Structure 1
Amino acid sequence: MEYAGSVASTDATPFRRVRERELIDATRALFDERGVQDAPIDDIAKAVGINRALIYRHFSSKEELFVLTVTDYLDELAELVRASVDGSEGPRESLERGLDAFAGFCLRYPAFLDCALSLMRRPARELHDRVSESVWFRLGQGMAALLSLLTANLAEGKRTGAFALEDPAFTANLLYTQILGAMHLARLGGGVRELAPGVPEFFRTDPQQVRVACVASALATVTA
């Protein structure tokens, strides 16, 4: 598919790389402090000490900065998952550790959860049309780095008979979305039940309870 929007410069000089890193760090800091909805471009520019107009010398749109910030979260998450599975005894323990690290990351960085869910709500074609090919590719790299860890684990579990599944890559994507959706319950802080016929009631949920339950549910999806 051809890219129809404006494209940010791909000049990768050391200065541009440093400035891009500063802008992504500032965006993450504001996301983590205030939430995704309360991080306007003006405040990001102010945090770095530049005029907001200069941001668009590095990114063709706010969407590009948003996507690269999500990619930064994904890179950190992939490293966390990789470290968490070291020393695991068998694919089941490895998957459990990796998914628990994933769920814990969602609790530690609610802004990541919001960002990831926001991306999932947008059709891929629509997002692709609003960012440059290089930014789109980097997002793909970030997601693939994480999903490849899950896929390799699932493939090994399938090979040894520990897991019952057909397609490890598909299942990795399924578990990725499953964890995000389940951890949104922790983000909300509660659920809804029927107190009496026609009478709804909000009840609070413990974030760690949600974390344990979503990992157990994901394991049940693949366990033979």
Structure 2
Amino acid sequence: MSRTIPPTHQRIATVPIRQKGQRDPEATQRALLAAAVAEFAEKGLAGARIDEIARRSGVNKQLVYHHFGNKDDLYQAALEQVYAEIRARERELKLGDLPPLAALEKLVGFSFDYLTEHPEFVALLNDENRQAARHVGRSKRLQDMHSPLITLLQETLDRGARDGVFRTDLDPLNIYISIAALSYFYFSNGRTLSAIFGSDLGTAKAVAARRRHVVAFALGAMRPVE
């Protein structure tokens, strides 16, 4: 059966409405962030509306400004949130506890699966790139999130080089970018690619085939040349 990847707004869970009178600042912030991620992913920063974010989260509009300042600040917080979620999931992989080849295979597969399951991440990154990454560029929190991942990649690549399963000239930043690109482009450009090549790349069969290719291609590029 075809499993065409639906539009972003169909893939994001509805934010539960908070009960009136409930006072829980942390729950309010979580609800607002979830609503903001959904709204910005669907409409971008320019098209999103604070009124709609408040409605989605079930809280008073004034609480948006109280907790996040303005729409631009909320957009940056939403970006930080989606990045924090994927970085947290990557930590749960415990790559440092695995043999180097298994660790990279797990990371590549996870990176592909995460984009399959989180189209809002792709949508937000597309929108931020259109804005020249001005929110990401001014967020120290986002910059700090990526350093541990690059360090872990370097350690894994070094272990693999010593074991003879990876090349000795691999740069962790380039490896990270390549892994991300192999999956990201497929989902960010899925509709145009499907139209150009006359093949529905969003079906379950096509997605599974692409996943196998991405994992094999990435690992093959890292192996020593015989």
| Shorter-chain TM-score range | 0.5 to 0.7
Ranked by relative contact order (alpha carbons within 8 Å, sequence separation 6 or more), the top structure is 2
Which residue of 1 is the match for residue 165 of structure 2? 162
Q: Residues of 2 paired with 1:42 and 1:60: CA distance?
A: 14
Kindly state the Cα deviation for residue 45 of structure 1 after the two structures are TM-superposed: 1.0
Given candidates 173, 180, 190, the residue that maps to 2:177 is 173
| Partner SS state of residue 66, structure 2 | coil
| 1:90-101 superposed matches below 5 A | 90-101=99-110
Distance 1:141 1:18, change over 3 A: farther
Kindly state the Cα deviation for residue 55 of structure 1 after the two structures are TM-superposed: 1.9
Paired residues of 1:179 and 1:218 also in contact (CA < 8 A): no
Task: Return 5+ residue gaps in structure 1 as ranges.
Answer: 1-13, 194-201
Q: Residues of 2 paired with 1:44 and 1:58: CA distance?
A: 13
Given candidates 122, 129, 135, the residue that maps to 1:127 is 135
| Partner SS state of residue 181, structure 1 | helix
Q: Residues of 2 paired with 1:64 and 1:208: CA distance?
A: 38
TM-score (norm 1): 0.68
Kindly state the Cα deviation for residue 44 of structure 1 after the two structures are TM-superposed: 1.1
Task: Return 5+ residue gaps in structure 2 as ranges.
Answer: 1-22
Q: Residues of 1 paired with 2:210 and 2:172: CA distance?
A: 25
Which residue of 1 is the match for residue 14 of structure 2? none
Distance 1:67 1:114, change over 3 A: same
Does residue 222 in structure 1 map to residue 205 in structure 2? no
CA-to-aligned-CA distance 1:40-98 (integer Å, 9 cap, x gap)? 32111123344434423333443332332232222222232333355975212111111
- The amino acid of 1:221's aligned partner reads A
CA-to-aligned-CA distance 1:182-208 (integer Å, 9 cap, x gap)? 343556672523xxxxxxxx2212222
Q: Residues of 2 paired with 1:152 and 1:179: CA distance?
A: 23
Does residue 63 in structure 1 map to residue 36 in structure 2? no
- The amino acid of 1:171's aligned partner reads I
Paired residues of 2:115 and 2:121 also in contact (CA < 8 A): yes
Percentage of pairs with the same residue: 24
RMSD between superposed Cα atoms in Å: 3.4
Kindly state the Cα deviation for residue 167 of structure 1 after the two structures are TM-superposed: 2.2
Paired residues of 2:150 and 2:172 also in contact (CA < 8 A): no
Q: Residues of 2 paired with 1:187 and 1:101: CA distance?
A: 22
Kindly state the Cα deviation for residue 18 of structure 1 after the two structures are TM-superposed: 4.7
Kindly state the Cα deviation for residue 24 of structure 1 after the two structures are TM-superposed: 0.9
Q: Residues of 1 paired with 2:43 and 2:158: CA distance?
A: 35
Q: Residues of 1 paired with 2:218 and 2:43: CA distance?
A: 27
Paired residues of 2:157 and 2:170 also in contact (CA < 8 A): no
Which residue of 2 is the match for residue 203 of structure 1? 199
209-218 vs 151-160, greater mean Cα deviation: 151-160
Given candidates 133, 139, 144, the residue that maps to 1:141 is 144
Distance 1:24 1:152, change over 3 A: farther
Distance 1:203 1:187, change over 3 A: closer
